[in-house]
Amino acid sequence: MIPSSPLDDPGKAAHAWARYLRIMRWMMTITVGLVIGSIILLYRSNGMVSIHFYIATALGIGFTMLLASALMGLAFLSSGTGHDEAIVDPLEDDDPYK
């Protein structure tokens, strides 16, 4: 029998997703600030190289930061709601450390 996840409850799921969206809004703000700061720093050190250089840098930093924060946010959501404990572990009886 598969145990039910705490995210099956609509109230808990709404609270968890609202928390996730709040984390993502903060990370979007931090990412935009970081991208602007890095573009300014690159312009001061290199001057006007090529607009494509600055676009690629902004997209690379922005995508990397947002992807990392989205994945970490999902890991926090899964762990914080108890969804990780609601699994069927076929190796539970084979654990030599219990």
Per domain, the residue ranges of the chain are 11-81
According to DSSP H, which parts of the chain are helical?
10-46, 51-81
Give the predicted TM-score (pTM) of the model: 0.71
Q: Which residue has the tokens 């990397």?
A: 64
Q: DSSP letter at 49? A: -
Average model confidence (pLDDT) for the chain?
Answer: 84
What is d(CA 17, CA 74) in angstroms, rounded to the nearest whole number? Answer: 9
pLDDT given for residue 18 in this prediction: 87
Residue 31 has pLDDT above 80, yes or no: yes
List CB contacts of 65: < 8 A, sequence separation 6 or more: 27, 30, 31, 34, 35
